[in-house]
């Protein structure tokens, strides 16, 4: 088969790595890809959100399956355009991608279909939003409705902070049209878990859960990022909890989308807060997480390609996937300054030697190779060092040992990835 992966981050490198290993995969393309992906796939110089050019390339190359990595092209309708051209695509339609594209739609869906989530109200009028906030306990959460590159959510510790967040979205238009309405919601407490399912419109086939680290710096401090590290499995989700997540959140969401006339196909990612009252939805994403995808692909024992095809073809009810029981840890190496402004074009050394290591892969994110083969930084998140180990300690140690072999003074990483799980394990042992 000929496969085209859309995107160019660590997530897409992990997907390309898994797909390239499939005996069913004859030719692999990636648009736009990166320096690491170029070792697995033929990279095409097409932006991930250039819907027309992607459909043309898939059609010209007679691609059998397009796998869409990031949310922007999904929300823009790439899958609809591909299917209209007769090309099979893994990912939700534009209507189903609203689950990530509009927080108001996600909240409506939960509300209508009894899916546990934080209590909320939606506003377009700043005065009404502020009056509501004044009547609510603190902290309180203000969210811009649309896609805001992870910057649209403020957990507010004071009413004044909440009023500012409302003004920024509704009056100053800081997020453009994505902030035409805001959601004001109850602040949930607990630890966060990323839950995933492959979905074929009817069936949610649950994958292992993972934990992400969204804050930029150690100890969960600093600004929010796309994710600085992840691990899977997580001690927060045992088999019984996974069953609760599947039966109260993942499958009900798929049923609800079908009932709403927007059947969901692709990868459903529910960002959950594990509250004392059980797991509740913080947000939905309509694609694999990054860097959660890297840890999942490292743990995947089965062939990825038939699983994605089963989701496209509506036969997931008779499908199963196998996973290594080991723990995978992924640590993001980012350019100093990320998630704010940062340098690009810096040489990154030490990558060749890592290829010799077992159980560690340097999945590339923002990288670009020079004509002479030098790998240079080309984005905020640059490498996602992903390791498998018999325990979280072992996987962490492998990932950090590999990171320490990278020669790139302009990079930084969190040193505490997996820390929550280790803290939790210590408490359990003491009990
Ligand atoms: P979201 O993009 O909706 O996942 O929000 C980004 C981050 O904001 C989440 O990962 C949480 O850390 C935090 N957050 C969002 N909603 C809530 C909430 N209702 N209560 C507490 N924290 C929240
Ligand atoms: N790591 C969080 C995300 O992919 O949205």
Q: Considering every ligand atom, which ligand is closest to the CA of 273?
A: 1
CA distance 122 to 129: 8
At residue 430, the pLDDT reads: 36
Let me know: does 415 contact 396? Beta carbons within 8 Å. no
Q: Which tokens go with 267? A: 């990868």
Atom of ligand 2 nearest to the CA of 292: 1
Ranges of each domain in the chain: 2-93, 119-186, 191-318, 328-422
Predicted confidence pLDDT, tens digits, the chain (431 residues): 999 999 999 999 999 999 999 999 999 999 999 999 999 999 999 999 999 999 999 999 999 999 999 999 999 999 999 999 999 999 999 999 999 999 889 999 999 999 999 999 999 999 999 999 999 999 999 988 877 776 788 899 999 999 999 988 888 888 877 778 899 999 999 999 999 999 999 999 999 999 999 999 999 899 889 999 999 999 999 999 999 999 999 999 999 999 999 999 999 999 999 999 999 999 999 999 999 999 999 999 999 999 999 999 999 998 999 999 999 999 999 999 999 999 999 999 999 999 988 899 999 999 999 989 899 999 999 999 999 999 999 999 999 999 999 999 999 999 999 987 777 444 333 33
Q: How far is the CA of 226 from the centre of ligand 2 (A)?
A: 5
Nearest residue (CA) to ligand 2, atom 3 = 289
CATH 3.40.50.920 fits 2-93, yes or no: no
Fold classification of 191-318 (topology level):
D-amino Acid Aminotransferase; Chain A, domain 1 (3.30.470)
Q: Nearest 10 degrees: CA dihedral of 84, 293, 146, 54?
A: -30
Q: CA-CA distances (angstroms) from residue 359 to 175, 262, 298, 395, 398? A: 41, 40, 9, 9, 8
Atom of ligand 2 nearest to the CA of 150: 5
212 CB near ligand 2 (under 6 Å):
yes
Quick count: other Cβ atoms within 10 Å of Cβ 167? Answer: 14
Helix intervals (H) in 25-149: 51-60, 71-75, 78-84, 94-101, 103-113, 126-134
Atom of ligand 2 nearest to the CA of 230: 1
| 5, β-bridge pairs | 30, 67
Nearest residue (CA) to ligand 1, atom 5 = 153
H/E stretch holding 163 reads helix 159-170
Q: How far is the CA of 269 from the centre of ligand 1 (A)?
A: 14
At residue 92, the pLDDT reads: 98
Q: Considering every ligand atom, which ligand is closest to the CA of 189?
A: 1
Fold classification of 119-186 (topology level):
Dna Ligase; domain 1 (3.30.1490)
30 CB near ligand 1 (under 6 Å):
no
Q: How far is the CA of 424 from the centre of ligand 2 (A)?
A: 22
The string of DSSP letters for 181-220 reads SEEEEEPP-SEEEEEEEEEESS-EEEPPPBEE--EEEGGG
At residue 427, the pLDDT reads: 36
Pairing of strands 265-275, 278-285: antiparallel
227 CB near ligand 2 (under 6 Å):
yes
Q: How far is the CA of 8 from the centre of ligand 2 (A)?
A: 15
Atom of ligand 1 nearest to the CA of 187: 20
Atom of ligand 1 nearest to the CA of 271: 4
At residue 69, the pLDDT reads: 98
CA distance 192 to 245: 13
CA distance 330 to 298: 10
208 CB near ligand 2 (under 6 Å):
no
CA distance 56 to 84: 12
Atom of ligand 1 nearest to the CA of 143: 3
Q: How far is the CA of 153 from the centre of ligand 1 (A)?
A: 7
220 CB near ligand 1 (under 6 Å):
no
b vs e for 357-374, b when ≥16 Cβ sit within 10 Å of the residue's Cβ? eebbbbbbbbbbbeeeee
Residue pointed to by tokens 């790139």: 408
Nearest residue (CA) to ligand 1, atom 7 = 153
CATH 3.90.600.10 fits 328-422, yes or no: yes
Q: How far is the CA of 135 from the centre of ligand 2 (A)?
A: 32
Q: Nearest 10 degrees: CA dihedral of 287, 291, 294, 295?
A: -110
Q: Which tokens go with 188? A: 């949930």
Per-residue pLDDT of 343-388, as tens digits, reads 999 999 999 999 988 899 999 999 999 989 899 999 999 999 999 9
Q: How far is the CA of 148 from the centre of ligand 2 (A)?
A: 13
């Amino acid at each position: 088969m000929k496969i085209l992966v859309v995107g160019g981050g660590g997530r897409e490198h992990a997907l390309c790595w898994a797909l390239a290993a499939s005996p069913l995969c004859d030719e692999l393309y990636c648009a736009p890809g990166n320096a690491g992906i170029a070792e697995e796939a033929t990279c095409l110089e097409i932006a991930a959100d250039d819907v027309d050019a992607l459909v043309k390339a898939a059609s010209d190359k007679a691609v059998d399956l397009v796998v869409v990595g990031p949310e922007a092209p999904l929300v823009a309708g790439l899958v609809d355009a591909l299917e209209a051209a007769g090309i099979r695509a893994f990912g939700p339609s534009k209507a189903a991608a609203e689950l990530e594209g509009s927080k108001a739609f996600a909240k409506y869906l939960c509300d209508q279909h009894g899916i546990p989530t934080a209590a909320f109200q939606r506003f377009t009028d700043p005065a009404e939003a502020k009056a509501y906030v004044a009547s609510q306990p603190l902290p309180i959460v203000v969210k811009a409705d649309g896609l805001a590159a992870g910057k649209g959510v403020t957990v507010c510790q004071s009413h004044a902070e909440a009023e500012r967040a409302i003004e920024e979205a509704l009056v100053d238009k800081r997020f453009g049209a994505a902030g035409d309405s805001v959601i004001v919601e109850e602040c949930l407490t607990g630890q966060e878990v990323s839950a995933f399912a492959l979905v074929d419109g009817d069936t949610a086939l649950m994958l292992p859960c993972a934990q992400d680290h969204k804050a930029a710096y150690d100890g969960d401090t600093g600004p929010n990022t796309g994710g600085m590290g992840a691990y899977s499995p997580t001690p927060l989700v045992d088999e019984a909890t996974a069953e609760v997540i599947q039966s109260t959140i993942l499958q009900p969401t798929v049923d609800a989308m079908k009932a709403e006339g927007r059947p969901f196909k692709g990868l459903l990612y529910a960002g959950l807060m594990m509250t004392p009252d059980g797991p509740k939805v913080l947000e939905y994403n309509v694609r694999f997480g990054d860097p959660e995808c890297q840890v999942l692909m490292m743990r995947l024992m089965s062939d990825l390609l038939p699983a994605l095809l089963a989701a496209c073809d509506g036969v997931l009810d008779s499908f199963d996937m196998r996973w290594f029981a080991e723990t995978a840890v992924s640590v993001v190496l980012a350019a100093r300054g990320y998630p704010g402004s940062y340098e690009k074009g810096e040489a990154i050394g030490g990558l060749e030697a890592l290829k010799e290591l077992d159980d560690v892969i340097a999945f590339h994110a923002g990288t670009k190779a020079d004509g002479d083969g030098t790998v240079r930084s080309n984005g905020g998140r640059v490498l996602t060092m992903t390791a498998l180990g018999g325990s979280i300690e072992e996987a962490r140690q492998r990932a950090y040992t590999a990171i320490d072999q990278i020669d790139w003074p302009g990079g930084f990483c969190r040193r505490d990835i997996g820390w929550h799980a280790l803290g939790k394990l210590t408490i359990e042992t003491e009990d």
